[in-house]
Structure 1
Amino acid sequence: MIEYKKARLKDIASMQILVRPEIENGVILPRSDDEIATNIRSYTLAFDDDRLIGYSALHIHAANLAEVRSLIVDGSYRGKGVGSGLVNALLAQARELEIAQVFTLTYRSEFFKNLGFEEISKEKLPAQKIWADCIKCKHFPVCNEIALIHNL
């Protein structure tokens, strides 16, 4: 049975192991242990028994805007609803915080569209997103990610 839990500091090492292949492929931005620790409360993890099988973070940009980022699911669990469960958990958190909109940047736009996100122009994203995160990407400034937003 899949369980969704808030991350704990002791989960960081397992999180880094799970995400490593996606970082190497340039799909997800690298984050240091310290950066994850600083933002640990934003992460929700998916477990099958005690095995970490996925995670994502709800990063708040402003009082009315947050981002789903760092969505990763173990390859053997993809297509089984784990990613959807993680995103839905983050959307529920955003609703509790009364955040009006949640956006994401992704190479898998259809996945997010199936969860109620709509495609938008990247120019509509906050400038601090581009200069804080995107500039670290090996694909910057030529980015093929698609921006999507979900209105809550």
Structure 2
Amino acid sequence: MDKVEQILSLIKPFVEEGKILPRTYDQIAENIDDFVFLRNFDKLVACVGLKDCKEGEMGEIYALAVSKDAQNQGFSTKLLDKIMQKARISNFSKIFALTKYNQQWFVNNGFVQTSIDKIPKRRQALFDHQRNSSIFFKDVK
């Protein structure tokens, strides 16, 4: 199974629950460099993408998933550390995430809830108002 298939397999239960937006094989493959991964005993247990918004030195976190078998073992914190490192290397000043679930995790990890007008204009245009996601920002240090 290649990396794209592993990501799709990892996020599938969360997509089915409506917690992560569905993505195709081609969408993941075209953006595979956005992703950071965590493995446990050579099995993919966590991933997250960081998309360059090409506006305002901001990156968007997406498809953050920790397998159900690996939850509550510190993988989400390690994943956040890796994505922050990637954000620094990419010279982002801020990262943000849109979510309907686990808002407390974002708050506990230094994110601040904000309004849609704070995200890049191009991203605002794609915002799904019916989904009604919360928006969380974090400064990259």
Q: TM-score of the superposition, structure 2-length normalised?
A: 0.88
In 2, the alpha carbon distance for the partners of 1:23 and 1:131 equals 23
The list of structure 1 runs, each at least 4 consecutive aligned residues, that deviate by more than 4 angstroms after superposition, is none
Q: 2:114 aligns with which of 117, 120, 128?
A: 120
Deviation of the 1:129 alpha carbon: 2.4
Match of 1:149 in 2: 137
Correspondence 1:31 to 2:19 = no
**The one of 80, 86, 95 aligned to 1:93:** 86
Partner of 2:103: 109
Shift of 1:117: 0.9
Q: Which residue number in structure 1 is paired with residue 53 of structure 2?
A: 61
Identical-residue share of aligned pairs (%): 25
- Read off the aligned partner of 1:79 and give its amino acid letter: N
Q: CA deviation at 1:130?
A: 4.5
- Aligned-residue RMSD, C-alpha: 1.8
How far apart, in 2, do the equivalents of 1:100 and 1:125 lie? 13
Separation in structure 1 between the aligned mates of residue 41 and residue 50 of structure 2, nearest angstrom: 23
User: Would you say how many aligned residue pairs link Structure 1 and Structure 2?
Assistant: 138
Cross-structure match for 2:10: 18
Structure 1 gaps of 5+ residues are: 1-8, 135-139
Amino acid at match of 1:145: S
Alignment-mate amino acid for residue 2 of structure 2: K
Give TM-score scaled by structure 1 length: 0.82
Letter aligned with residue 115 of structure 1:
N
Gapped regions of structure 2 (runs ≥ 5): none
Q: Is the partner of 2:135 in helix, strand or coil? A: strand
Contact 2:117-2:124 within 8 A present in 1 as well: no
